[in-house]
Amino acid sequence: MHIVIPGILEKNWNTIEDKIEVIKQFSNSVHIDFIDGKFAPNTTFLDPNPFQKYSKDLFLEAHLMVENPLQYLEPLTTAGFRRFLGHIEKMSNLEEFVAKGELLGEVGLAIDSQTDIEKLNIPYQDLDCLLLMGVKAGYSGQEFIPNTLERIKKIKGQNETVLIEVDGGVNNKNIKDIKNAGADRFVATSFLFKEGDPSKNFQTLLSLTS
């Protein structure tokens, strides 16, 4: 089963809330980017608490582009987040993050587009999913890096059952190629909101993955 997940990368809560109100009209899940300015030269809204009001209507997924993502797990859980994706680049102990995340909800590891996938030195069966960046982590609206397709194929070649989520640069021109490479979930952020009707843009992506 292939799933398209709307993504939000914003600094301001009012903008986030406006987008959530739109998203919940056509999707039952949302991917929220948390960036602390240390992992990448950008910052987003970092307080998980206001999201709690949407935790009954939407499946909340947190993408942690932060230093020490482990410390975010409990506050996110309290706010109603149910899936936690932490970047290995700023993680001191992958096993500890995965073990704690499993106790609180679904857990996955994220890897930036420049990072060697061999650094994912943890059994894939311990993960609910694996997130591969299709761009350099930190900003929305970037062009998809074609080499991501080969990275997906390599991981699927190692373990065909691991769920792969791709985030960054996903649009109507490349989502079929990303799917055919072996991806299972697709995070769409700028494509949904850049122009046109977000709902129609979402349906376009869904139709291309069916």
Measured CA to CA, the distance from residue 54 to residue 56 in angstroms comes to 6
Question: Strands (DSSP E) along 55-192, which ranges?
Answer: 59-65, 81-87, 106-111, 129-133, 164-167, 185-188
Measured CA to CA, the distance from residue 148 to residue 180 in angstroms comes to 12
Q: 47 an active-site residue?
A: no
Measured CA to CA, the distance from residue 46 to residue 34 in angstroms comes to 6
Measured CA to CA, the distance from residue 91 to residue 143 in angstroms comes to 26
Tokens representing residue 100 in the block? 């704690």
pLDDT of residue 206: 97
pLDDT of residue 132: 98
**Catalytic position from the list 36, 112, 128, 167:** 167
Question: Hey, what amino acid is at 10?
Answer: E
Q: Which domains does the chain have, with CATH numbers?
A: 3-209 (3.20.20.70)
**Catalytic position from the list 33, 36, 112, 128:** 33
**Helix runs in 88-138, H state only:** 94-104
pLDDT of residue 12: 98
Q: 126 an active-site residue?
A: no
Q: Is the dihedral of CA 39, 43, 49, 54 positive or negative?
A: negative
Could you list the mean pLDDT of each consecutive 10-residue stretch along the chain, which spans 210 residues? 97 98 98 94 96 98 96 98 97 94 98 94 92 90 94 95 97 98 98 95 97
Antiparallel, parallel or unpaired: β 185-188 and 164-167:
parallel
pLDDT of residue 82: 99
Residue 183 host element (H or E): none
